[in-house]
Amino acid sequence: MRELVLDTETTGLDHEIGHRLVEIGIVELENHVPTGNYFHYYLNPERVSDEDALKVHGLSEEFLSNKPKFSEIVDELLEFLSDSKIIIHNASFDVGFINSELNRCNISSLNEDCVIDTLYLAKKKFLGQSVSLDSLCRRYNIDLSERDIHGALKDAKLLASVYLELIGGKQSKLDFAASDGIQ
Q: At a CB cut-off of 8 Å and minimum separation 6, what does 90 contact?
A: 117, 119
Spatial strand order in the sheet of 21-30 = 33-42, 21-30, 2-10, 85-88, 115-117
Q: Which 3 state secondary structure label does DSSP give 2?
A: strand
Beta bridge partners of 10: 21
Note whether 161 and 5 are within 8 A (CB): no
d(CA 114, CA 6): 12
* Tally of CB atoms within 10 A around 50: 15
Catalytic site includes residue 40? no
**Angle of helix 152-166 relative to helix 118-125, nearest 10 degrees?**
40
- Catalytic center residues: 150
